[in-house]
Amino acid sequence: MTTSNLYRKEKIYGFLFILAPLLGLIIFTLYPMLYSIYGSLTDWDGLGQMSFIGLSNFTDLFTDELFHKAVFNTLFMMLGIPIGITLALLLALGLNRGARGTTTFRVIYYVPVISSLAAVSIMWNWAYNGDYGLVNQFLDLFGISGPNWMANKYTVKPALIIMAVWKGLGYTMLLYLAALQSVSRTYYEAAELDGANGFQSFRHITWPMVRPVTFFIVVTNIIGGSQIFTEMNIMTPTGGPEYASASVVFYIWQKAFGSFQMGYASAMAVVLGAFIFVVTLIQFRMNEKSSFDVD
């Protein structure tokens, strides 16, 4: 007898402990994922009929103008990521100085994060209203007559970006704030002794030190941004003027649940999944290469 009874029992218990999440993963993630990969090779209508048609769903994607538009829109709206990161970092730097009212500001910036996305979308839809909207009324104070944000194909995407940045700002800011607070004072003191100015200590201490957080934010935001859906579903239920605000997931949803083309929708989902996977992989590689230790 090499293993004791207790040890063997422990193994079983251990296995039982991971069983629940593992089953969850298999049933709710792995199985649907494999099923949708299979579905992407068929002409499945989501109701019953499902026959194998090879890769023709994928080749159709090359000539599908609406799909190209949706991809473009999705990528365009990711412009919000660098904007959000810059603003959040600036805010975090400001709040990190420990001025009075820091907690209040933290709460103010965090409120949108915990608000329901659907409610926020409805609220912003009103704010963007061309006639009575808060945004245009505000612009009016400066004598600018604002556009009808959601009905104009040039303004609808920027409008969505502004909203997404506003919604995500608090979360990103909080992450940065935590990262900034964990940077040891000694580095700054040493830099000061060496005569570094504010910008230099930011450039050579702060920025590298919060790098893992930046990396995390970029990765999660790209993953999230690729799947943006709720905002346009609520604010522009038909995909916006000339499909200018439709995202890839929005198009997938329309095809799957509106037009009985579950197979085609699955093909797009597979492409989107592969895209996210590859981008994330590249980012991880880049991060490994350029990471360094201060010690």
Partner 1 sequence: MLKKKGWFTLLSLILTVSVVLAGCGGNNNNAAKSNTGNTGTTENTATKTDDSKETKELTFMYRGGTDEQAAYKKVVEKFEADHPNVKVKIIVTAADQYATKLKASITGKSIPDVFYFESGDLKAYVNSGVLLDLNSYIEANKDINLDNIWKYGVDLYRYDGTMAGQGNIYGMPKDVGPFALGYNKTMFEKAGIPLPDKDKPYTWDEFVKVAQQLTVDTTGDGKPDQYGTGFNVQWALQAFVWSNGADWIDSTKTKVTIDDPKFAEALQYMADLQNKYKVTPSTEQAQTLDTYQRWMKGEMAFFPVGPWDMSTYETLPFDYDLIPYPAGSTGKSATWTGSLGIGASAKTKYPEEAVALIDYLTASKEGMEALVKAKVQIPNLIDMATEWAADTSTKPANKEEFLQIVNDYGRVLPGHYTYNAEWYNLFFTDIQPVIDGKVTAADYVKSEQPKMQKLLDKAIEQEEKSKK
C-beta of 148 vs 283, nearer to partner 1: 148
Q: How far apart are CA 88 and CA 213, in angstroms?
A: 12
Q: How far apart are CA 190 and CA 253, in angstroms?
A: 55
C-beta of 76 vs 202, nearer to partner 1: 76
Site track for partner 1 across 48-87, x = CB under 8 A: xx-x-------------x--------------xx--x---
Task: Examine residue 208 and tell whether it contacts partner 1 (CB under 8 A).
Answer: no
Task: Examine residue 250 and tell whether it contacts partner 1 (CB under 8 A).
Answer: no
C-alpha angle with apex 61: 57 to 66, nearest 5 degrees? 130
Quick one: which of 226, 230, 217, 229 has its CA closest to 278? Answer: 226
Q: Which of residues 92-131 bind partner 1 (CB under 8 A)?
A: 117, 129-131
Task: Examine residue 157 and tell whether it contacts partner 1 (CB under 8 A).
Answer: no
Task: Examine residue 145 and tell whether it contacts partner 1 (CB under 8 A).
Answer: yes
Q: How far apart are CA 210 and CA 96, in angstroms?
A: 13
Q: Determine the longest span between alpha carbons in the chain, in angstroms.
A: 87
User: In Å, how far from its chain's centre is CA 256?
Assistant: 22
Kindly calculate the radius of gyration of the chain based on its CA atoms and give it in whole angstroms: 24
Min CB(93)–partner 1 separation in Å: 21
Question: Token pair for residue 9?
Answer: 């029992």
Handedness of CA 204, 206, 208, 214 (dihedral sign): negative
Q: Which of 19, 26, 33, 278 binds partner 1 (CB under 8 A)?
A: 33
Count of beta carbons in the 10 Å neighbourhood of residue 75: 14
Min CB(197)–partner 1 separation in Å: 34
Q: Which of 15, 154, 207, 257 binds partner 1 (CB under 8 A)?
A: 257
User: Under the rule (CB under 8 A), what is the footprint of partner 1?
Assistant: 27-29, 31-33, 35-36, 43, 45-49, 51, 65, 80-81, 84, 117, 129-132, 145, 147-148, 150-153, 164, 167-168, 220-221, 223-230, 233-234, 237-239, 241-243, 249, 252-253, 256-262, 269, 272-273
